[in-house]
Amino acid sequence: MSAGDVVIIAGGGANIASLQFALERLGANSQVSADPERIRNASHVILPGVGAAADAMSRLCQRNLDTLLPALKQPVLGICLGMQLLFEASEEGPANCLGIIPGLATRFAAAAGLPVPHMGWNTLSIDRPSALLEDISPGDYAYFVHSYALSTGAATIASSRYGEPFSACVQQGNFYGVQFHPERSAKVGARLLRNFLQL
């Protein structure tokens, strides 16, 4: 395992501390940076995200990270909004995203008994095997907080259901994304982060 050099991309997201603490509990140090050179040389890159897609994209574009990120070869993990940014676009804003994985993030339709945002613990289904999901089982719970989601598709490795099924975890090559918050998903989340660091 060569997770000696984890870089969390700085983007004004407010919940970076909890992610860093989660990595710390796994014995991994991380640095928060928006410096292209630091990001390029990282062993693992994490794209977190809290806030709106358009804001987050404009911050990435200011640093030219919108061209750097799709070219990365090391494991990259997008979390929550960070996962949505890996796709082509989001209805939120609307915003053009990084375009690494085909798909559009759409807003959950509010329905009786299904308040938006989707907030809380929900179960995972495993759609296809991935090293990211090692020792994570169907029915395991993860903690979600989001109003927009990606429907299931070719990149989906785990899904969840809120009215309709949606992508809970995705993978395309070295790009991974999780819609839930592993840093706040107790043992299941810690396992997923450990799996990512071992990639």
The residues assigned a catalytic role are 80, 181, 183
Among 40-48, 68-76, 95-103, 180-188, the segment contacting other proteins (CB under 8 A): 180-188
Let me know: does 183 contact 19? Beta carbons within 8 Å.
yes
Which window, 36-44, 66-74, 116-124, 158-166, contacts other proteins (CB under 8 A)? Answer: 116-124
DSSP code of 11?
Answer: S
Minimum distance of other proteins from residue 21's CB (angstroms): 5
Contacts by 16-22, CB closer than 8 A, 24 or more apart: 16/48, 18/181, 18/183, 18/184, 19/46, 19/48, 19/79, 19/183, 21/183, 22/182, 22/183, 22/184, 22/189, 22/190, 22/193
21 near other proteins, judged by CB under 8 A? yes
72 touches other proteins (CB under 8 A): no
DSSP 46: E
Residues touching other proteins: how many (CB under 8 A)? 33
Handedness of CA 103, 174, 49, 132 (dihedral sign): positive
Which amino acid appears at position 87 of this protein? F
Shortest Å distance, C-beta 44 to other proteins: 19
Question: If binding is defined by CB under 8 A, does position 184 make contact with other proteins?
Answer: yes
* Sites of contact with other proteins (CB under 8 A): 14-18, 21-22, 24-25, 50-52, 110, 113, 115-117, 119-121, 141, 143, 145-147, 181, 183-187, 189-190
